[in-house]
């Protein structure tokens, strides 16, 4: 299963952001709760210190509370506080005011930063906690109290408002995460894209790595070092394989040629039609096949090493194709040749290489044809280029054939159970010859299982 790196990164960022938001919510609630508690007690102290003389008149007290220089956090302290006067009434004598007076609540000095002569305490009455302040040293003076439950209710309203706003901004958070994901993916994948671009420029001719990529980030230095080591080993392996193929092919040519000559002499000396002559002819045919394979391998090894130096000269391709068709014997193969050849097309090319390519394409169309089928050859000129198409009907044009047609030693007949003479080198050799002439070869499947090979080449190629 192929996974998306960007999608995975988005999921990780979303989970990470959710954890950060949740952790921040818990930490904020903890610290802000303490800060809110401190602030409410400060406001109680300010109200008692600045407006203590107005406690008996609620309206006057509220007006005084609003005039305090320090801006108040909320009207909660002014509206929901409880006043314990010096002399308790009968109703007040049974509540938290009595606890503060009779049970010796733990009064402590306020925060020195407040700079107020105020003491504070916290008491629990009937399961409810109260914040309390009084003037320093006045045990029977005025006391202001605020119930913790009222503060928590106010605090929960703030949290609810915050959560509601979080829901509103959630789409923007998700959109920001998507943009951040794309940006981070772009940054993370940038070195890999650069390496990809470099790898796309590599082929068998430049594996030596003269223009090695330099790591932009120190974290990728080890990765590039491993890649360069693999490239160097691959280049060494290809060089060894090329040398072996070239040396082996070159060394085999001479003994095979001598063997072919001795077979021909032996055939002429043996009685005509004898079993020994037939066996000698079979040996001669197999030697000829070996020579053909060796020559193709030698040419391919030269192509791999970029050592083919074409001898460019004008070739009347139109006349060459007509002559090739005329020299063939359609009756022998049982196939019909359909030719559409534009006259007067002259190609500046290596004559011997192009003739070999044309014969390979034509032989491929005959060998992989249907009984009673046909071979189509069309040649046309398109501006400064030529287009040559060789097509033929076949039993089946599979996707594998389209993908591996130019692969060396690949034979389509193996997939169809057909025994066709060949080595699987013809089309790969045609491709190398096309590359030498700055041309391209392509295969396609046409209606009714027709296999077509198209050569597109400049009439005057620029070759090294």
Identify the band that residue 302 occupies on the pLDDT scale cut at 50, 70 and 90.
low
User: What does the mean pLDDT of the chain come to?
Assistant: 79
The confidence score (pLDDT) of residue 104 equals: 67
Per-residue burial over 437-460, b if 16 or more Cβ lie within 10 Å, else e, is bebebebebeeeebbbbebebbbe
Of 251, 366, 234, residue with least CA distance to 297? 251
The confidence score (pLDDT) of residue 235 equals: 76
Is the predicted pLDDT of residue 415 greater than 50, yes or no?
A: no
Is the predicted pLDDT of residue 414 greater than 50, yes or no?
A: no
Strand partners, 341: 379
Is the predicted pLDDT of residue 421 greater than 70, yes or no?
A: no
Q: What is the spatial distance between Cα 17 and Cα 30, in angstroms, rounded to a whole number?
A: 20
Identify the band that residue 205 occupies on the pLDDT scale cut at 50, 70 and 90.
low
For the chain, the distance separating the N- and C-terminal CA atoms, rounded to the nearest angstrom, is 46
Contact 208, 237 (CB under 8 A): no
CATH 3.20.20.140 fits 312-458, yes or no: no
Of 147, 135, 110, 139, residue with least CA distance to 48? 135
The confidence score (pLDDT) of residue 416 equals: 44
pLDDT digits (tens, 9 = 90+) for 347-403: 998 888 888 889 889 888 888 888 888 999 999 998 889 999 999 998 877 878 788
Contacts 24+ apart (CB under 8 A), 49-57: 49/116, 49/117, 49/118, 49/135, 52/135, 52/142, 55/83, 55/85, 55/142, 56/85
Mean pLDDT of the 229-255 span:
72
The domain segmentation of the chain, as residue ranges, is: 5-160, 218-304, 312-458
Contacts 24+ apart (CB under 8 A), 107-113: 107/134, 109/136, 110/41, 110/42, 110/45, 111/38, 111/42
> Tokens 């794309």 identify what position?
182
Is the predicted pLDDT of residue 288 greater than 50, yes or no?
A: yes
Ranked by mean pLDDT, which of 208-222, 260-274, 380-394 comes out on top?
380-394
Q: How many other CB atoms are found less than 10 A from the CB of residue 264? A: 14
Q: Where are the strands (E) in 34-179, listed by range?
A: 82-84, 108-109, 118-125, 128-135, 143-147
> 333 or 264: which carries more pLDDT confidence?
264
Q: What is the spatial distance between Cα 17 and Cα 177, in angstroms, rounded to a whole number?
A: 9
Q: How many other CB atoms are found less than 10 A from the CB of residue 66? A: 12
Q: What is the spatial distance between Cα 365 and Cα 392, in angstroms, rounded to a whole number?
A: 6
Is the predicted pLDDT of residue 331 greater than 60, yes or no?
A: no
Contact 220, 191 (CB under 8 A): yes
Tell whether the torsion through CA atoms of 82, 87, 89 and 94 is positive or negative.
positive
Contact 171, 154 (CB under 8 A): no
Mapped onto helix, strand or coil, the DSSP state of residue 63 is: helix
Please state whether beta strands 312-316 and 336-341 pair in parallel, antiparallel, or not at all (unpaired): unpaired
Mean pLDDT of the 163-180 span:
84
The confidence score (pLDDT) of residue 390 equals: 93
Identify the band that residue 429 occupies on the pLDDT scale cut at 50, 70 and 90.
confident
Mind spelling out the 3-state secondary structure of 127-165?
Answer: CEEEEEEEECCCCCCCEEEEEHHHHHHHHHHHHHHHHHH
- Length of the chain equals 464
> What CA–CA distances, in Å, run from 214 to 210, 217, 228, 235?
12, 9, 11, 19
Identify the band that residue 277 occupies on the pLDDT scale cut at 50, 70 and 90.
confident
Identify the band that residue 458 occupies on the pLDDT scale cut at 50, 70 and 90.
very high
> 341 or 401: which carries more pLDDT confidence?
341
Identify the band that residue 330 occupies on the pLDDT scale cut at 50, 70 and 90.
low
pLDDT digits (tens, 9 = 90+) for 65-119: 776 655 554 566 767 777 788 777 766 666 777 777 776 678 888 878 778 888 8
Is the predicted pLDDT of residue 144 greater than 60, yes or no?
A: yes
Give the whole-number percent of the chain exceeding pLDDT 70: 83
Angle at CA of residue 292, ends 291 and 297, nearest 5°? 95
Q: What is the spatial distance between Cα 394 and Cα 450, in angstroms, rounded to a whole number?
A: 6
Side-chain-side CA neighbours of residue 179 (13 Å): 6
Q: Which two tokens stand for residue 274?
A: 């004898």
> Tokens 């060394």 identify what position?
251
Contact 349, 315 (CB under 8 A): yes
The confidence score (pLDDT) of residue 45 equals: 83
CATH code given to domain 218-304: 1.10.287.130
């Amino acid at each position: 299963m192929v996974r998306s790196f960007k999608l995975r990164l988005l999921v990780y960022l979303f989970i990470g952001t959710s954890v950060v938001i949740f952790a921040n919510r818990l930490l904020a609630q903890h610290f802000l709760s303490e800060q809110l508690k401190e602030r409410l007690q400060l406001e109680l102290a300010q109200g008692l210190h600045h407006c203590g003389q107005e406690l008996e008149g609620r309206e006057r007290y509220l007006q005084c509370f609003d005039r305090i220089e320090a801006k108040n956090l909320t009207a909660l302290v002014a509206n929901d506080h409880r006043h314990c006067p010096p002399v308790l009434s009968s109703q007040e004598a049974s509540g938290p005011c009595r606890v503060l007076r009779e049970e010796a609540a733990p009064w402590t000095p306020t925060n020195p930063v407040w700079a107020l002569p105020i003491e504070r305490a916290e008491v629990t009455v009937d399961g409810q906690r109260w914040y309390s302040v009084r003037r320093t040293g006045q045990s029977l003076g005025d006391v202001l109290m605020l119930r913790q439950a009222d503060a928590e209710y106010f605090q929960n309203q703030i949290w609810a408002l915050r959560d509601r706003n979080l829901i509103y901004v959630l789409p923007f958070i998700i959109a920001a995460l998507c943009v951040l994901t794309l940006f981070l993916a772009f940054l993370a994948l940038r070195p890999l894209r650069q390496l990809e671009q470099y790898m796309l420029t590599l082929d068998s001719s430049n594996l030596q790595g003269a223009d090695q990529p330099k790591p932009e980030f120190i974290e990728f230095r080890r990765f590039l070092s491993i890649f360069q080591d693999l490239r160097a080993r691959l280049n060494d392996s290809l060089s060894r394989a090329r040398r072996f193929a070239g040396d082996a092919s070159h060394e085999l040519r001479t003994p095979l040629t001598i063997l072919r000559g001795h077979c021909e002499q032996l055939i002429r000396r043996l009685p005509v039609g004898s079993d020994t002559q037939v066996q000698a002819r079979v040996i001669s045919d197999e030697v000829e096949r070996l020579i053909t394979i060796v020559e193709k391998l030698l040419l391919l090894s030269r192509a791999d090493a970029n050592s083919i130096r074409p001898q460019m000269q004008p070739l009347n391709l139109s006349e060459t194709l007509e002559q090739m068709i005329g020299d063939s014997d359609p009756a022998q193969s049982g196939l019909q040749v359909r030719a559409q050849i534009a006259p007067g097309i002259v190609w500046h090319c290596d004559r011997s290489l192009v003739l070999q390519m044309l014969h390979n394409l034509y032989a491929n169309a005959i060998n992989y044809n249907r009984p009673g089928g046909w071979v189509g050859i069309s040649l046309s000129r398109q501006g400064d280029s030529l287009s040559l198409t060789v097509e033929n009907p076949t039993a089946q044009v599979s996707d594998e054939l389209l993908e591996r047609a130019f692969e060396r030693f690949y034979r389509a007949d193996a997939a169809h159970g057909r025994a066709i003479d060949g080595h699987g080198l013809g089309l790969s050799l045609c491709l190398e010859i096309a590359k030498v002439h700055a041309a391209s070869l392509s295969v396609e499947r046409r209606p009714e299982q027709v296999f077509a090979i198209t050569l597109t080449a400049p009439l005057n190629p620029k070759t090294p």
